[in-house]
Chain A
Amino acid sequence: GAVVSQHPSRVICKSGTSVKIECRSLDFQATTMFWYRQFPKQSLMLMATSNEGSKATYEQGVEKDKFLINHASLTLSTLTVTSAHPEDSSFYICSARAGQINEQYFGPGTRLTVT
């Protein structure tokens, strides 16, 4: 199947700083990528839809100025958590669609810890 990578796999940052998470489609092009957040023992929550060459579409309740999404190429989308707070600590997962039946492939996730 198609491969989606994320970098870094885990990151620790201090409150007030910003951190960037990269999502790459390794063997296919993705005009659309999705960003999810998952808290411990909870399901994935969709944060935004990242569109190549245009602005991202954010879900209700997700602050677009805090979670900056850039999808500058067909293989790379980035999520920047700005002015991070401890409550932003979570598992962030990206995904993209590929394949004959347009199945959605997920990255391995990024564990963010804000101290």
Chain B
Amino acid sequence: LAKTTQPISMDSYEGQEVNITCSHNNIATNDYITWYQQFPSQGPRFIIQGYKTKVTNEVASLFIPADRKSSTLSLPRVSLSDTAVYYCLVGFTGGGNKLTFGTGTQLKVEL
């Protein structure tokens, strides 16, 4: 399973764009990159998933360079409610293949 490395914490202010980078040097050919958000005492919530280049949905964008050894989650114009832990996971999503959580990034958004 590809190991991921993320910053332990990040601070931002409301209205700013936040970019969280995840390093995954030994990503396998059939691995996807998935990001989750978790609030205290809640289960993780799926944010976005991608394989290469750029993926965008209504809440975030995911940038993946050609070598796929890293990825960047971009949150546009964060608000206080975006304060949470963000996890980057790498793995093959088919069937019973498991995903392993790393340490995650604690994002704190202030006024």
Verify B93–A97 contact, CB threshold 8 A: yes
By beta carbon, the residue of chain A nearest B46 is A103
A74 within 8 A of B: no
In the complex, chain A residues whose CB is within 8 Å of the CB of B32: 101
**B45 CB to nearest chain A CB (Å):** 7
Interface residues on B, range: 20 to 34
B61 within 8 A of A: no
B76 within 8 A of A: no
By beta carbon, the residue of chain B nearest A102 is B93
Chain A's interface: helix, strand, loop or mixed, by majority? strand
Verify A34–B98 contact, CB threshold 8 A: yes
Q: Mark A59-81 against chain B: 1 for CB-CB distance below 8 A, else 0.
A: 00000000000000000000000
Verify A109–B43 contact, CB threshold 8 A: yes
**A52 CB to nearest chain B CB (Å):** 10
In the complex, chain B residues whose CB is within 8 Å of the CB of A107: 43
B interface, CB within 8 angstroms of A: 32, 34, 36, 41-46, 49, 87, 93-96, 98-104
Sorted nearest first, the 6 A-B pairs with minimum C-beta distance are A106-B43, A32-B96, A102-B93, A44-B101, A43-B101, A106-B44
14 additional A-B pairs beyond A95-B44, A103-B93, beta carbons within 8 Å, are A1-B46, A43-B87, A43-B103, A43-B104, A44-B44, A46-B100, A102-B93, A103-B49, A104-B34, A106-B36, A106-B45, A107-B43, A108-B43, A109-B43
